[in-house]
Structure 1
């Protein structure tokens, strides 16, 4: 384990945007006298029912992709075809047989749950500092009157290791740092496999993707129950991810994630042995729209908390993102952009669907 280091921005990702401080939602959820329309005014979403929510039998389930089969020459072609279909049709897939040891998964789940059980004053020791999006707090709060998400978040910059700021890495619970480090390292290997096989399905040289997923931010998400108004608040506003690929681990089995598909919201049922993978904005740009990032949101349970950890695998901050066309005749649909330019646009605005991606599209 590394020694403590002074605050540093790594490759720039943690300091790319600003957010206003807001009240801790976990503490607010415990104040029963405030759980009414007046007390939760900034959280209530009048437009939450603008789109239909489909039942599983209406929408089908997010496809499952087996990494073990992708790595097996006897099954590679068949599983790669399923991967291509999942990326084209869903933009999400459940990755099974991903190879992350059960012990590492169990340890990181345990320590995330223990962290959010800590007293508020202990968690606040790792609060976001001005100008840095790492730490315990919120993101995408850009005005005093915007609607807020019913959740608390804790984010750390995890990869590459030399860019970590360990002043944000909790020492309580005592095993937290090792659990996160082990999990982060395993996910880098998983992301490497995922991107290699995605490149093959797109017929893109894997060397073009080498710097597109080398940085990793981990964000731990805590969604408290909201007994009185769960159907009126959101844990996370509709958005797509400013990542190349995102790998999500559900820490507990409570449902809440929904993805937008064919104009409706589709609930995602957690798979106990899978990592949920989704296409990010940078992959949509690089694939020239062949694989699209998908808008998603998080709903709230009235009686149970929900926890998850998202791993955003992103390009080098000083890099370039450019569409890779497969034939001379293919029309280029996206601009060539500096990663920094896109990241600044994304992180400096509230979440509003895929709005930021419009800046990357050619007219």
Structure 2
């Protein structure tokens, strides 16, 4: 049965997505005797090798230096370069206490260790895209990602549906709330400095990152066919900015750069930040959202937490030009319109963003 979510929380975002239920991948991976070629057919990706894999180093940006008058100008120039050339950067010295980071990592790992029947208490329900399960599954014959997810809306507080917030492990709710609050402050700093590098009034961005949704990602190992499956299909993010915390040190994330894939090495003390589609539109293409994907390790699981920050659902996103001569490249769109387009299609590169471009 297909699920199409009307909003329980009034924030609008929960009602724009559709997904079909599919088999739990973590449970499938644990049944080694069932991992036949026929069983794995829907996960095998003929497009898996659609680009060369090259080495590269994602730039690191130091938030402490951005906040220092003595280093602001130099670090802001590095931030501008990272957003222009990469669309991704590692944010170091972000200021979130080590204890809060350690707690959320521990509790997410413990959640995914729970028996399937316990995790399924928080499964996606008909009419909602929050919960434990899958996303972007729109047909019975499309290729599937080798991963499970657990998604919740965390900000603003009135958007929360606490029936999805697990009580096992017992500390998880508090860990999520503590991390969410700290991350909102980090997102504020990131967006503020991005606005300054673009010479955009920060007030214009004040409502562009107020929504926050977490996607906790679990990528089981796939010993027999790791080189033929993907944990997450190539896509750009339908967010303003995304802040990712890697829970364990297993590699897998790759970003597309100059028609090649660049593996991202996890930084133990950093948050990985990337430009989302809404920021590309607002910056009039000065900062572009970047296609990325997740590959699978043959022997080790990988866990991460993606925090998507997005505009008010009933708001508008418009390109901002910095000179009278600058050509406008994107439409002014209702956030709701873009969100519906993004969430009602399977992940396929930056296809949704094409609808926002002016010919």
Q: Aligned partners of 1:356 and 1:94: how far apart in 2? A: 26
The residue aligned with 1:13 is: 13
Q: Deviations over 1:203-242 (max 9, x none)?
A: 0000000000000000100000000000000000000000
- 1:151-183 CA-partner distances (Å, limit 9, x unpaired): 000000000012210000000000000000000
Could you tell me how far apart the structure 2 residues matched to 1:315 and 1:50 are? 33
Match of 2:44 in 1: 44
Please show how residues 169-248 of structure 1 align to structure 2 within 5 Å.
169-248=165-244
| Cα deviations by residue, 1:332-359 (Å, 9 ceiling, x for unpaired) | 0000000000000000010000000000
2:312 equivalent among 311, 316, 320: 316
What is the DSSP-based 3-state SS (H/G/I as helix, E as strand, rest coil) of the residue aligned with 2:233? strand
Deviation of 1:34 after TM superposition, in Å, equals 1.9
Q: CA separation in 1, counterparts of 2:214 and 2:138?
A: 22
1:340 aligned partner: 336
Indicate the SS of the match to 1:46.
coil
Deviations 1:52-83 (A, max 9, x none): 111x2xxx200000000000000000000000
Tell me the C-alpha RMSD between the 2 structures: 0.7
Q: CA deviation at 1:9?
A: 2.9
Deviation digits for residues 95-140 of structure 1 (CA, Å, limit 9, x no counterpart):
0000000000000000000000000000000000112110000000
1:100-111 correspondence runs (5 A): 100-111=96-107
5+ residue gaps, structure 1: 1-6
Match of 1:33 in 2: 33
Q: Is the 8 A contact 2:210 2:309 kept in 1?
A: yes
Query: Aligned pair 1:80/2:76, yes or no?
Result: yes
Q: Give aligned pairs, total.
A: 353
The two structures have a TM-score, normalised by structure 2, of 0.98
Out of 108, 114, 127, the position equivalent to 2:110 is 114
Q: How does 1:288-307 map to 2 (within 5 A)?
A: 288-307=284-303
Q: Which consecutive unaligned segments of at least 5 residues does structure 2 have? A: 1-6
- Give, in whole Å, the separation in 1 of the partners of 2:36 and 2:329: 47
- Verify the 8 A CA contact 1:128 1:134 in the aligned structure 2: yes
Per the alignment, in what secondary structure is the counterpart of residue 33 of structure 2?
helix
Is the 1:238–1:352 contact (alpha carbons within 8 Å) kept by the matching residues of 2?
A: yes
Query: What is aligned with 1:325?
Result: 321
3-state DSSP class of the match of 1:140?
Answer: coil
Q: Which residue is equivalent to 2:142?
A: 146
What SS does the aligned partner of 1:220 have?
Answer: strand
8 Å CA contact 1:35, 1:229 repeated in 2: no
2:151 and 2:87 mapped to 1: Cα distance? Answer: 24
Which of 96, 119, 125 lines up with 2:121 in the alignment? Answer: 125
Question: Aligned-pair distance for 1:36?
Answer: 2.6
2:261 equivalent to 1:265: yes
Residues 1-39 of structure 1: per-residue CA shift (max 9 Å, x gap): xxxxxx823411122111000000000001112223211
Superimposed CA distance per residue, residues 319-343 of structure 1 (whole angstroms, 9 cap, x where no aligned partner): 0000000111110000000000000
Q: Name the TM-score, length of structure 1 as normaliser.
A: 0.97
Residue 4 of structure 1 corresponds to which residue in structure 2?
none
